[in-house]
Amino acid sequence: MPTAPAPPGDCDILLTGGTVVTVDEGHTVHDPGAVAVTGDRITAVGRADELSHWRARTVLDCRGRAVLPGFVDGHTHLYQALVRGLGEGMSIVPWLCTFMWPYSIAVTGPDAVAGVRLAAAEALRGGITTVVDHHYAPTDLETTLAVARTVEEAGLRGAVARGIVGERTAVAARRGQPDALFRYSAADELALTRDAVSAHPPGSRVEVWPAPLNLTYVGQELVRSSVRLARELGTRWHTHCCESSADPRGYLEAYGVRPVQWLAREGLLDARATLAHAVWLDEEEAGRVADSGAAVAHNPVSNAYLASGTLPLPRLRAAGARLSLGTDGPSCGHRQDMFECMKQAVLAQRLRTLDPEVLAAREVLALATREGARYAGVDAGVLAPGRLADLAVVDLGAPHLRPVHDVISTLVYAARACDVVTTMVGGEIVHQDGHCLRIDAEEAAREAEERAAGLLRRAGIAVLARSPVRTAAHPARPVPSARSADPSSGESR
């Protein structure tokens, strides 16, 4: 049902004349429509003529544009922006062993912050207003707080999920994960996370969450303690879960139980849990996730890039699980482009099931906005009075978007991040016409490029020369064969 218009009044910003895609439960679209914003909240939504008498300090003419809720990136790694475009042609095991782990060990606090600043600018330019940033290198208190501060200063909201690793487990040792990854004892991990959450507690614009890095190789007791810490402090918690087909198999071999089964058995799977990937869940586990209220961040682009598999989305939806979308960051998804993620999510499911009706455009738009907001615990994701004024404006005038017959289909299948012309977070315009208003995106890019060059040398990561031949200065690192790897070592991050 259309939203009842509020009586005429004053507002700070009035966006009018555009196609207003509310993403409410009824999939309401006002064309032409208007959105009134006062302070950090939406005051009114409706047809443009219904709000024509509102008095606004600022009026944004949105004719020829779509106005929609800002996107929620349910799983990203902002610090990885310094190595965009590397790791080509690898599955998860060699990608981690020869690329991501060396990078993560070599990255410094200032390097990470530079990557986060650049990635935050990219996110805002693409209409992303909330991020769940799984940050795991480095995770000292100073860097963790600097990352959260940088995300907030850029204008985003969301959470920094502090990656928790602890001591090297037998599973990690068997997989050959380097000792340098394991920098803190379990006690230190929990103490550092507690201090970080205290500085960015629940209700902050950017919160900090406990985030055992991966269910497969973080020790069970540390996972248990991390979940208890989240419950004690009132936060959500985050983890990588069954990204690779070998994750549940390797866990079963090590512990005699599958990861999600273990969480459920121990009473750890709850509504605070946000599980990244969850590609390889069986039917029972899908039901456990749904029954517990846990949520899943689906990362369709990175799952395809690493050939990790396709989420059993129909199974999870049928069970009633909460779902969102994620980019998985700049080095695996390569672009923090939620339009690309929406399209890939639909197409992957149709290829997997051979069913053109398995997932529709309006459903995946809801995953990227309304359901993503539920996942992240923010009062946004829908254009409705009282909700946070987190929204994006998309220019529909480019040739690849015209003619517009069905605006939702156009947004999902034809639009790109570069079509976003305005991003608003909490009633503040933080990106407009290609310019981030809180940070200098060009300066952020220059710093990231300067730091990336030294970082790659320190990490020993080979890069391609301008021709397809590797330079003598950067010889290719050996890439282990997936066939020769430990069958249980199809690890995810």
> In angstroms, what is the C-alpha Rg of the chain?
22
Res 475: pLDDT: 40
pLDDT at 2: 45
* Residue 132 amino acid letter: V
pLDDT attached to residue 493: 64
CA distances from 121 to 73, 368, 439 (A): 14, 19, 7
pLDDT in the model for residue 471: 36
d(CA 318, CA 332): 29
pTM (two decimals): 0.93
pLDDT of residue 98: 87
**pLDDT computed for residue 480 by the predictor:** 36
> How far is residue 120 from each of residues 228, 329, 396, 444, measured CA to CA in Å?
30, 11, 24, 10
Can you list the residues of the chain whose pLDDT is less than 50? 1-2, 5, 465-490
Please give the backbone phi and psi of residue 253, each rounded to the nearest 5 degrees, phi first: -65, -35
- Domains in the chain (CATH in brackets) are 10-69+384-436 (2.30.40.10), 71-376 (3.20.20.140)
Given this model, what pLDDT does residue 94 score? 85
Burial of 313 per CB tally in 10 Å (0-12, 13-18, 19+): buried
161: β partners: 134, 209
Tell me the HSE value of 79 on the side-chain side, using a 13 A CA sphere: 29
Q: What is the pLDDT of residue 486?
A: 41
Is the CB of residue 28 less than 8 Å from the CB of residue 22? Answer: yes
CA-closest candidate to residue 101, choices 90, 117, 116, 113: 90
Report which of 317, 408, 388, 338 is spatially closest to residue 123, judged by C-alpha positions: 338
**C-alpha–C-alpha distance, residues 101 and 109, integer Å:** 16
| Bond prior to 102 in cis (omega within 30° of 0) | no
